[in-house]
């Protein structure tokens, strides 16, 4: 069941949904909380001079943070902190807000785009909208541009909405993994096995 605006406010007040910094009341809509863009924007580098590179996420020593460090670059921001997203491009960024869904809150969430950006052709996730019960960290956004006009993205832009849902029962184990406690688009600690 999706939480309404009143239930979202109550969850925030009671520490069942922790958003840092707290959202302005105008960012709480009938069934979601609008989150804003952070200031880190990264793009994948092209393979150099015919070099062959295959990423193997099923490998026991797969380390997403290392791949991001080696194969992405920061996109230089304009003086106002913005970047221009060109048609056909893909970048990684994250929300300015840190979100925490304590496992005992029996809440999970998903992140979805906002309609204004969607109508310009901008999507905020590829196939990974789920924010699991027990998650803590900023939310990485996989931003794609399917439109025809360049779009300026600026830190603080209301870029996505967090839709919070109740979980039937309390999960038996706390969330762990490479993206728990992430502070950037690279995630957290290396994953050990799959």
Q: Which residues are catalytic?
A: 142
CA 18, CA 171: separation in Å to the nearest integer?
18
Going from the C-alpha of 55 to that of each of 9, 60, 125, the distances in angstroms are: 42, 12, 20
Residues 6 or more apart whose CB falls under 8 angstroms from that of 13 comprise: none
């Amino acid at each position: 069941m999706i939480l309404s605006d009143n239930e979202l406010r109550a969850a925030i007040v009671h520490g069942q949904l922790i958003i840092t910094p707290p959202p302005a009341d105008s960012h709480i809509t009938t069934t979601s909380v609008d989150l804003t863009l952070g200031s880190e924007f990264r793009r994948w580098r092209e393979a150099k001079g015919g070099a062959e590179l295959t990423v193997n996420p099923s490998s026991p020593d797969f380390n997403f943070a290392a791949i991001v460090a080696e194969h992405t670059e920061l996109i230089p921001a304009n003086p106002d902190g913005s970047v221009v997203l060109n048609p056909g491009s893909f970048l990684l960024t994250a929300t300015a807000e840190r979100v925490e869904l304590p496992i005992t809150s029996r809440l999970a969430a998903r992140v979805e785009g906002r309609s204004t950006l969607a109508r310009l052709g901008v999507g905020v996730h590829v196939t990974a909208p789920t924010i699991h019960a027990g998650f803590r960290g900023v939310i990485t956004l996989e931003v794609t541009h399917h439109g025809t006009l360049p779009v300026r993205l600026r830190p603080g832009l209301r870029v996505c909405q967090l839709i919070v849902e109740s979980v039937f029962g309390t999960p038996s184990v706390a969330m762990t993994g490479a993206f728990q406690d992430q502070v950037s688009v690279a995630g957290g600690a290396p994953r050990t096995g799959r």
